Structure 1
Amino acid sequence: MTDQAQLHQQLIDSMTANGSLRTEPWKRAVETIARHEFLRTGFFRRLDGAVPSAWAPVLEGDAGWLEACYEDESLVTQIAGTIMPADIRGQIMRDPTSSSTLPSLVVRMLEDLQVVEPESKVLEIGTGTGYSTAVLCARLGEEYVTSIEYDEEVAARARTALGRRGMYPTLVSGDGLLGYADGAPYDRVIATCGVRTVPAAWIEQTRPGGLILTTIGGWLGSSELARLTVHDNGTATGPLLSGQVSFMLARPHTPPALGLLPDLSEGKEREAIIGTDALNDWTYRFVVQLAAPHAQHLTMERDGRTEHVLIDVESGSWAALYEEDGRWIVRQDGPNALWDAAEEQLGRWHAAGTPALEEFTVSVTPQGQTINW
């Protein structure tokens, strides 16, 4: 067995053992797809200890490249919207914009998609490197797979990698939030980017009884997979799934720049009922996001203390929390009292017994999206 084949088998064994890869049809599909074939343009490795985050390129043939391709981790493949690993020497301190998702999450989502054979038509939002697209083709056949990628250069590289394997699904460059009406209706829609709200186009392009699997999150950095069933009346409902799954948000859903900060010394102060522990816990943050969906979080050093600040750029509202003598104090200003809304939402959640995220239900109608427990 070659080194590559051995690494591939070890990854499959690991995904089987941890419960991500659960059924034989998907296992057979994964066995036929070599992940390194979709990472020949290299990836970026995070440099330990760098603040802010810094990334260094790892190219095919470099020490550790092949081994990393078969590690169960996400690998950043693009920085700042255009920069590829071969474009730089040294390191770069910019934000990632495309990646190869960790394989266990890829196969867990494909299992959660609950495809029904034969002839399940799948729309994939976010082609990325093309690895997950290839696994879909191996299981269903290329004629049943449509994949959309927002970035034309990323899409071109995925098309090349798939072509090397003799796979030619329908590949589209464009805004995945709009779906691809020419191929509709689909039996399944799967998104490998995060969204704040499920786009209406996905529901419109999914047949009644079909499923949409997507990550729903927000600007406070908490998200979860949702599996929605589409109904005859054009609505969709379904549960959140467990796992604290996070993807890069679709670019149209990313937060606006904070710009010039408001005067945080103004506003009304009171003792807070709930402190910043609510911003440190994944589930708490998700609940806070429901109350303040346009808020972003930052920390600042002011007057010799650390303040945790929520800012809603759209409304101009903000809330700043700090600890004083063992108590939490909140100062707020703007048309929306952000921390009042957060505490009220958290209070309702506590009154219900703090249900886990998998007990939450998502409902999408033409009037909008709601998430309840």
Structure 2
Amino acid sequence: MRPGQRVLDLGAGAAVTAAVACHICGDTGVVTLDRDQHIVVAAQARLGVLGYRPAVVSGSGEDGWPERAPYDRIFVSFALPCVPGALVDQLAPGGRMLMHITTTSPSWPALAVISRCPDGRVTSHLRAVEFAHRAGHGRKQIFLSAAFRERIAARSAGSAEARAFRSWMVARPDGAGTWTVTASGQRDIWAEIRETTVQWRAAGEPEVYRLDLAAAGNPR
């Protein structure tokens, strides 16, 4: 960030990111947004105590805030399954957006860096990270009941509940420095993991991956 840049902070939370943006860029070009109106009120109060008066608004983070677009920097503090096209559209030439991408599984979050070149072209890449915060709003959770966990532990997948999930895999340390893997269902999840590992090693174990954006702004 640099002084004078326009910043969109999505997921205001405790307003830490917004405060840093105001300190570096000046508060007149900063917009911080949160879905929860109570968080918006609290963030505005915290920023006011620090002497900052950015635009503090309530809305959907996936939609951004086009009223003040375009932005030189967009920070998304929560993970999403894809890159919202609306946010890409609000990125200024020369601008950059940082956000986490994840799936319904919490085991593989990645940091996406999306840049709009001065000529308007959009480039992006992914880098695996250890942690990403997933927003709870509208999130579909897979609930594993105690009974289902017991069936998995007993290596049984015959229940209707197990069939509903179709496939699962459990890895347990065997005490000898290796792991015992149990898999069940229509998909061989363990085989998929091994095949992905083979491809990754064959590619030189890259740390960064290219992220292609479809016309609507979603990764493909």
TM-score of the aligned structures, taking structure 2 as reference length:
0.77
RMSD: 3.7
Offset of residue 163 of structure 1: 1.6
> Kindly, what percent of the aligned residue pairs are identical?
23
Query: Does the 8 A contact of 2:2 with 2:24 survive in 1?
Result: no
C-alpha distance in 1 between matches for 2:203 and 2:96: 28
Counterpart residue number, 1:366: 215
C-alpha distance in 2 between matches for 1:326 and 1:238: 36
Offset of residue 183 of structure 1: 0.9
Query: Does the 8 A contact of 2:69 with 2:90 survive in 1?
Result: yes
What SS does structure 1 have at the residue aligned with 2:211?
strand
Counterpart residue number, 2:123: 237
Offset of residue 205 of structure 1: 0.8
Offset of residue 344 of structure 1: 2.7
Query: Does the 8 A contact of 1:215 with 1:246 survive in 2?
Result: no
Q: Aligned letter for 2:124? A: G
Any residues of structure 2 matched to 1:156-235 within 5 Å, and which? 156-218=41-103, 219-230=105-116
Going from structure 1 to structure 2, the CA distance change for 1:141 and 1:259 (only over 3 Å counts) comes to same
The equivalent position to 2:200 in structure 1, one of 329, 349, 368, is: 349
Counterpart residue number, 1:131: 16
What SS does structure 2 have at the residue aligned with 1:212?
strand
Going from structure 1 to structure 2, the CA distance change for 1:332 and 1:186 (only over 3 Å counts) comes to same
Gaps of 5+ in 2: none
Counterpart residue number, 2:25: 140
Query: Does the 8 A contact of 2:2 with 2:25 survive in 1?
Result: no
TM-score of the aligned structures, taking structure 1 as reference length:
0.48
Offset of residue 301 of structure 1: 5.6
Gaps of 5+ in 1: 1-114, 265-297
Q: Deviations over 1:237-275 (max 9, x none)?
A: 323357x352321334734243679x98xxxxxxxxxxx
C-alpha distance in 1 between matches for 2:153 and 2:80: 33
Q: Deviations over 1:178-235 (max 9, x none)?
A: 1011111111111122222111111011123311111223323332322211258977
C-alpha distance in 2 between matches for 1:234 and 1:299: 54
Query: Does the 8 A contact of 1:363 with 1:369 survive in 2?
Result: yes
Offset of residue 339 of structure 1: 3.8
Higher relative contact order (CA 8 A, sep 6+): 2
Query: Does the 8 A contact of 2:169 with 2:189 survive in 1?
Result: no
> How many corresponding residue pairs?
211
Q: Deviations over 1:37-93 (max 9, x none)?
A: xxxxxxxxxxxxxxxxxxxxxxxxxxxxxxxxxxxxxxxxxxxxxxxxxxxxxxxxx
What SS does structure 1 have at the residue aligned with 2:213?
strand
Counterpart residue number, 2:185: 332
C-alpha distance in 1 between matches for 2:73 and 2:142: 34
